[in-house]
Amino acid sequence: MADLQDLERLLGDRLVRDASVLAELSHDSSRVGPEGAPRAAVRATSTADVSAALAWAHEHDVPVSVRGAGTGLAGGANAYPGGLVVSLADMTEIVEIDAANRTATVQAGVITAQLDARAREAGLFFPPDPASARTSTIGGNIATNAGGLRCVAHGVTNDSVAALVVVLADGRVMRTGARTRKNVVGYDLTSLFVGSEGTLGVVTEATVRLKPIPPGTPRTFRASFDTLEAAGSAVTAIVNGDAQPEVLELMDALSVEIIESFQPSGLTVPAGAMLVGQTVGLDAAAKAESITATCRAQGATETEISDTDALLEARRLSNPALNARGLKIGCDVGVPVAALAEVFHGIAEISERHGKRVSTVAHAGDGNLHSTVEAPDDAAGIAAADAVIDDITKLAISLGGTISGEHGIGSVKQHELPWQLDEAALDVQRAIKLALDPRGILTPGRGI
Amino acid sequence: MADLQDLERLLGDRLVRDASVLAELSHDSSRVGPEGAPRAAVRATSTADVSAALAWAHEHDVPVSVRGAGTGLAGGANAYPGGLVVSLADMTEIVEIDAANRTATVQAGVITAQLDARAREAGLFFPPDPASARTSTIGGNIATNAGGLRCVAHGVTNDSVAALVVVLADGRVMRTGARTRKNVVGYDLTSLFVGSEGTLGVVTEATVRLKPIPPGTPRTFRASFDTLEAAGSAVTAIVNGDAQPEVLELMDALSVEIIESFQPSGLTVPAGAMLVGQTVGLDAAAKAESITATCRAQGATETEISDTDALLEARRLSNPALNARGLKIGCDVGVPVAALAEVFHGIAEISERHGKRVSTVAHAGDGNLHSTVEAPDDAAGIAAADAVIDDITKLAISLGGTISGEHGIGSVKQHELPWQLDEAALDVQRAIKLALDPRGILTPGRGI
């Protein structure tokens, strides 16, 4: 381990070998365990630290896992046997809020909600809003091109990233992008690295775009439906209507039941599904009225408009509530929004065919679904649950959809890649990986 | 030329060898001439035609130039000596308008304005609006990640592209992206190919995102300023204000003079500059009032609001008006929008220092400037004009800007690449190019 001492001399106590700390830094929030015990971790506080770590790993052919807050759901940040963990959680500096250009420059370890809070002090906000925003880091959001609740109005993380500082596999530092709104100078490396799941380089700093806080008081709304299909049709009608929501989420009956038993907020469990959402702007109330009217026209049995955030809070509890119940196997599929009723119909069929209860929450306005099956924690139980999720994923693909809307591929969805990508696309992905990380040290075997 | 006969057998009269046709297909709309006479051109009508053409070129190591309508301004579509021209101008099918999912699927040779017109029949529109929209093709727009007038509200072409069909350098066909709003499955190949200027593959078909036509009657507005700096400050104030324009363009005094002498529309030439723009939505009139009030607060000497399109038409005439005057050398720089007053101040200094008149039009809301110097068509005249444009470009970079907002690098801006990209970024660009086009047949020596 003389080699590691070289790195230790450079990094001091930012190089960690304590087994209990390493254990904490070895897994994300997925059901998949780490591939093995790492030899050390670097708790980087600067781009230079990350550069030193990767240069060392590159020289010694040591596999590297990269992590922010470890909230990932695809096993992407899990450690490798004998590998090096690079943690960005201590890179928490908000370098600049540039209000006149509506950008913020932050280190990768900044918690997303903290960036948003700082932007709000300047009358701006950070549009991406993953459900994990209060715990996940902007670096992790960028690595997975995270989505969240506000995507229906503002797009995904990539739509809000202007420029990056990236450490390449051999330790060299590269800047991508520009602070300008338009920039056509060579290939769009910013978009290439956003969503690359730590396989091409390590993002250490980002310049992101902010938007002005809409004037007026936001409204939240909910609508209950007797069937999931009716709720799906309502979503398609809302998305194609004049009144555009900022947030449009769906919880099926089982999800509402699970959330209410985890932390009761007085929500009545619907027969089929509940839509919840938010409107913003000076006409927020009128838009909420218009959307709930659309819901009633599509068969909603009950609707409500509120000026509190309680309905969205319930939706945000979905993941904690599910986690509290033990092992679950889920998906992150997407479908074109006009296919929502059809995908819900198909999920009900799959549930019945497998004899397994499926709970589904959805970023409905985006057509992004998280269906979950609870599984006994044994091989047979997991295999049975996996079979349900595989069928739902194949259904989404057959409707023109995607195997991952916002969580990424990680190690969990490797086997699904050929379901969506053709052979030429897989070859191109591999060629890019090989070109930028020829020794294969960065998050090997995951992502693409 | 036996080899070419193989391709001719496959393509019939879609393989063109007529010298006068080849001459027409050998140059774009830049001042840069073709590098040489091509041996043949393929007027493709299908992805299979393009695949056959590239497979042949790959096998025989023949350089390929790719073109749509030839409206490019960076020399990117110019022919190579002994090369093959692949023209997509005959791939004009609008495959599908999917109103419920707000997407359109089109072949690469569809004229952008025709796509927009078809979308409007379904109550939708195609957001990107390059000044050349009535003549340029969607494939060319994608190859350069084109910008245009509506970017301030809707972003650049890449923001409206969901999925592509791409023919790779060796002739294989690849699909990228998905029709869903969110998709994190491997690297974002769609964004990589958008703006890649024909150097990584040939886009033959695209699925693009449409938006609903805003309700109400649009308003156009103009505001005249005594100085360019004051107009620049007004733009920064407007972009950071509550009333957001759909279009926000700037023409300096010389530009207005040139446009009026080309096709008079009664515009009074301002002392410094004129802003023109458009607002949309039910509150279009109120927003136009608010924006012109902001202009007056920033020193506008005269403002006007109209419900006709005449002001924008004048702006669209800028390029034809300049072209009618003979050789011009221009730039396509971008700056962060808060730096507009400063960049205009600097351009005035550069103009004075070089003793050359500079005319500037700008997609002001994006901070994207087209400054132009007229040049006598001889080596000394061109060199003197180039020196002015180089200084303006370096100024933009020094303000955190970009060497190209929307036209791309082509062959014209090759020497400027290191001004913006660091050595690591250039290496990564080259590594990607080498990985996807190892024989270097696709638009060699241009773009990156």
Per residue in A417-438, pLDDT (tens digit) is 999 999 999 999 999 999 999 9
Please judge whether A178 and B240 are an interchain contact, meaning their C-beta atoms are less than 8 angstroms apart.
no
Query: Is residue A40 predicted with pLDDT exceeding 60?
Result: yes
Query: Is residue A19 predicted with pLDDT exceeding 60?
Result: yes
Q: Give B19-62 pLDDT, tens digit per residue.
A: 999 999 999 998 788 899 999 999 999 999 999 999 999 999 99
Please judge whether A212 and B447 are an interchain contact, meaning their C-beta atoms are less than 8 angstroms apart.
no
Residue pair A268/A180 in contact (Cβ under 8 Å)? The answer is no
Please judge whether B178 and A431 are an interchain contact, meaning their C-beta atoms are less than 8 angstroms apart.
no
Residue B213 has a pLDDT of: 94
For chain A, first and last CA: distance in Å? 31
Residue B371 pairs in a beta bridge with B360
Q: How far apart are CA B220 and CA B333, in angstroms?
A: 25
Q: What is the mean pLDDT of chain B?
A: 95
Task: Check CB contact of B351 with chain A, cutoff 8 Å.
Answer: no
Nearest to A369, CA basis, from A273, A271, A250: A250
Please provide the size of chain B in residues: 448
Residue A64's H or E segment, with its range, is strand A64-67
* Chain A residues within 8 A of B200 when measuring between CB atoms: 187
Query: Is residue B98 predicted with pLDDT exceeding 80?
Result: yes
Per DSSP, chain A holds a count of helices (H) and strands (E) of: 16, 19
Identify which of B182, B335, B417 has the shortest CB distance to residue A366.
B182
Task: Check CB contact of B207 with chain A, cutoff 8 Å.
Answer: no
As given in the structure block, the two tokens for residue A335 are 């479908």
Q: Which amino acid is it at A313?
A: E
Minimal Cα–Cα distance from B161 to chain A, Å? 12
* Chain A residues within 8 A of B99 when measuring between CB atoms: 240
Specify burial of residue A236 (Cβ count, 10 A radius: 0-12, 13-18, 19+).
Answer: buried
Residue pair A20/A12 in contact (Cβ under 8 Å)? The answer is no
Q: How far apart are CA A305 and CA A291, in angstroms?
A: 10
* Chain A residues within 8 A of B191 when measuring between CB atoms: 158, 188, 191-192
Q: Give A59-101 pLDDT, tens digit per residue.
A: 999 999 999 999 999 999 999 999 999 999 999 999 999 999 9
Minimal Cα–Cα distance from A2 to chain B, Å? 30
Please judge whether B101 and A436 are an interchain contact, meaning their C-beta atoms are less than 8 angstroms apart.
no
Please provide the size of chain A in residues: 448
Minimal Cα–Cα distance from A266 to chain B, Å? 32
Over residues B442-448, mean pLDDT: 94
Q: Which of B51, B154, B170, B187 is the mutation pick for testing A, counting most A CBs within 10 A?
A: B187
Query: Is residue A1 predicted with pLDDT exceeding 60?
Result: no
Nearest residue of A to residue B172, measured between CA atoms:
A424
Q: How far apart are CA B32 and CA B412, in angstroms?
A: 7
Identify which of A182, A192, A425 has the shortest CB distance to residue B174.
A425
User: Which residues, 6 or more positions from B383, have their beta carbon under 8 angstroms from its beta carbon?
Assistant: none
Residue A309 has a pLDDT of: 87
As given in the structure block, the two tokens for residue B129 are 């609006």
Cα–Cα distances (Å) from B100 to A238, A339, A425, B115, B427, in that order, read: 11, 9, 28, 17, 43
Query: Is residue B385 predicted with pLDDT exceeding 60?
Result: yes
Q: Give A112-132 pLDDT, tens digit per residue.
A: 999 999 999 999 999 999 989
Give the rounded percent of residues in chain A with a pLDDT score beyond 70.
100
Task: Check CB contact of B249 with chain A, cutoff 8 Å.
Answer: no
Minimal Cα–Cα distance from B202 to chain A, Å? 14
SS3 A120: helix
Residue B31 has a pLDDT of: 76
Minimal Cα–Cα distance from A441 to chain B, Å? 17
Residue B234 has a pLDDT of: 97
Q: Give A368-422 pLDDT, tens digit per residue.
A: 999 999 988 899 999 999 999 999 999 999 999 999 999 999 998 999 999 999 9
Query: Is residue A2 predicted with pLDDT exceeding 70?
Result: no
Residue A361 has a pLDDT of: 96
Q: Which of A47, A58, A160, A181 is the mutation pick for testing B, counting most B CBs within 10 A?
A: A181
What pLDDT band is residue B311 in, cutting at 50, 70 and 90? confident
Identify which of A151, A185, A421 has the shortest CB distance to residue B420.
A185
Please judge whether B402 and A178 are an interchain contact, meaning their C-beta atoms are less than 8 angstroms apart.
yes
User: Which residues, 6 or more positions from B86, have their beta carbon under 8 angstroms from its beta carbon?
Assistant: B41, B42, B44, B50, B53, B54, B64, B65, B66, B67, B202
Residue A157 has a pLDDT of: 96
Please judge whether B425 and A189 are an interchain contact, meaning their C-beta atoms are less than 8 angstroms apart.
yes
Q: Which amino acid is it at A16?
A: V
User: Which residues, 6 or more positions from B226, have their beta carbon under 8 angstroms from its beta carbon?
Assistant: B270, B271, B272, B299, B301
Task: Check CB contact of B102 with chain A, cutoff 8 Å.
Answer: yes
User: Which residues, 6 or more positions from A254, have their beta carbon under 8 angstroms from its beta carbon?
Assistant: A357, A358, A359, A360
Q: Which of residues 137-166 of A touch B (CB under 8 A)?
A: 144-145, 147, 151-152, 155-156, 158-159
Identify which of A195, A401, A424 has the shortest CB distance to residue B168.
A424
Residue A33 has a pLDDT of: 81
* Chain B residues within 8 A of A102 when measuring between CB atoms: 240
Q: How far apart are CA A115 and CA A120, in angstroms?
A: 9
Task: Check CB contact of B403 with chain A, cutoff 8 Å.
Answer: yes
What pLDDT band is residue B163 in, cutting at 50, 70 and 90? very high
Over residues B117-140, mean pLDDT: 96
Q: How far apart are CA A435 and CA B64, in angstroms?
A: 23
Please judge whether A180 and B147 are an interchain contact, meaning their C-beta atoms are less than 8 angstroms apart.
no
User: Which residues, 6 or more positions from B374, have their beta carbon under 8 angstroms from its beta carbon?
Assistant: B325, B326, B327, B328, B357, B385
Query: Is residue B1 predicted with pLDDT exceeding 60?
Result: no
* Chain B residues within 8 A of A155 when measuring between CB atoms: 159, 181
Please judge whether A429 and B186 are an interchain contact, meaning their C-beta atoms are less than 8 angstroms apart.
yes
Residue pair B384/B372 in contact (Cβ under 8 Å)? The answer is no
Minimal Cα–Cα distance from A57 to chain B, Å? 18
As given in the structure block, the two tokens for residue A384 are 């049975």
**Interchain CB contacts (distance < 8 Å): A and B:** 252
Residue B442 pairs in a beta bridge with B64
Task: Check CB contact of B42 with chain A, cutoff 8 Å.
Answer: no
Minimal Cα–Cα distance from A397 to chain B, Å? 10
Nearest residue of A to residue B193, measured between CA atoms:
A187
As given in the structure block, the two tokens for residue B111 are 């004229």
Minimal Cα–Cα distance from B201 to chain A, Å? 11
Nearest to A72, CA basis, from A193, A191, A181, A197: A197
Residue B148 has a pLDDT of: 85
Identify which of B337, B404, B425 has the shortest CB distance to residue A174.
B425
Minimal Cα–Cα distance from B289 to chain A, Å? 18
Q: Within 10 A of B175 (CB to CB), how many other CB atoms are there?
A: 18
Please report how the helices B284-297 and B228-239 are oriented relative to each other, as an axis angle in degrees rounded to 10.
Answer: 140
Please judge whether A196 and B187 are an interchain contact, meaning their C-beta atoms are less than 8 angstroms apart.
yes
Residue A145 has a pLDDT of: 96
Residue pair A401/A347 in contact (Cβ under 8 Å)? The answer is no
Q: Strands B103-107 and B94-98, how do they pair?
A: antiparallel
Nearest residue of B to residue A98, measured between CA atoms:
B338
Q: Give B250-309 pLDDT, tens digit per residue.
A: 999 999 999 999 999 889 999 999 999 999 999 999 999 999 999 999 999 999 999 998
Please judge whether A187 and B196 are an interchain contact, meaning their C-beta atoms are less than 8 angstroms apart.
yes
Q: How far apart are CA A437 and CA A442, in angstroms?
A: 7
Task: Check CB contact of A282 with chain B, cutoff 8 Å.
Answer: no
Please judge whether A151 and B181 are an interchain contact, meaning their C-beta atoms are less than 8 angstroms apart.
yes
Please judge whether B434 and A435 are an interchain contact, meaning their C-beta atoms are less than 8 angstroms apart.
yes
* Chain B residues within 8 A of A399 when measuring between CB atoms: none
Torsion over CA: A418, A424, A428, A430 (sign): positive
Higher pLDDT, A342 or A319: A342
For every residue of B2-50, DSSP letters joined together read: HHHHHHHHHHGGGEE--HHHHHHTT--SSSPPPSS--SEEEE-SSHHHH
Minimal Cα–Cα distance from A130 to chain B, Å? 13
Residue B273 has a pLDDT of: 97
Q: How far apart are CA B81 and CA A442, in angstroms?
A: 42
Minimal Cα–Cα distance from B37 to chain A, Å? 26
Residue pair B448/B431 in contact (Cβ under 8 Å)? The answer is no
User: Which residues, 6 or more positions from B296, have their beta carbon under 8 angstroms from its beta carbon?
Assistant: B223, B303
Give the rounded percent of residues in chain B with a pLDDT score beyond 90.
90
